[in-house]
Structure 1
């Protein structure tokens, strides 16, 4: 269970990282549209696990670039929240697979061949 302080930092980092990707990070990510879907921070507030979802781009390539530029992104985050925190957390990025999983499950459900109940079968059961 997360403390209120962790929840507060999660929201703060999620908001700030979203803005960094929109503004300062354009030279890093190009035209990719990145959503910071979730942030989980460690109890000692030293490591932030940031979950990203990607649209309009090859997510594996962009994710590799983000991993390489992790230090630069942490610096931008420090410039934004440095006066609010004692330590700017280390950033650990993860791909949020929930959107692709939802698409996959939707596709599976739509491809199921489920026969429809007819009213005749309902009458026979009574």
Structure 2
């Protein structure tokens, strides 16, 4: 189901505010890894928000997610102070690990390996046989 206009507006507002909250609380760098918000998806009733976090170069992503969830009350309290005039109710925040960056990195590594294993003459031999 496609997101409505209000869902997108609230999601963008939450993403902007949460990004600055994460930076202020020092949650953008945990255990030597970079934590960034990739998306915030809001339910149609605007009561729940899924916050997708990209964790890059962290030793243990589960530990990073645990640290973020442990400070969830602090994040929500600050978020409430910032958006209390724009939203009637502050949505329940649920955090998810967005591993698309990791997946893309693994795919790039596989492509590099395939390219390294492929003999360089195979392209020129195929082109010469057409003539």
Into which bin does the TM-score normalised by the smaller protein fall? 0.7 to 0.9
Q: Which residue of 1 aligns with 2:113?
A: 111
**Cα displacement (A) at 1:56:** 5.3
Unaligned runs of 5+ in 1: none
For the aligned residues, what is the CA RMSD? 1.8
Which aligned runs of 4 or more in structure 1 are off by greater than 6 angstroms? Answer: none
| Higher mean C-alpha deviation, range 31-40 or range 88-97 | 31-40
Contact preservation (8 Å) 2:38, 2:52: yes
CA deviation vs aligned residue, 1:63-102 (integer Å, no higher than 9, x gap) = 1011122122111110110111011000000011011111
Paired residue secondary structure (1:94): strand
TM-score, structure 2 as length reference: 0.84
Unaligned runs of 5+ in 2: none
Question: CA 1:21 to 1:118, structure 2 compared with 1: closer, same or farther past 3 Å?
Answer: closer
Paired residue secondary structure (1:125): coil
TM-score, structure 1 as length reference: 0.87
Aligned length: 123
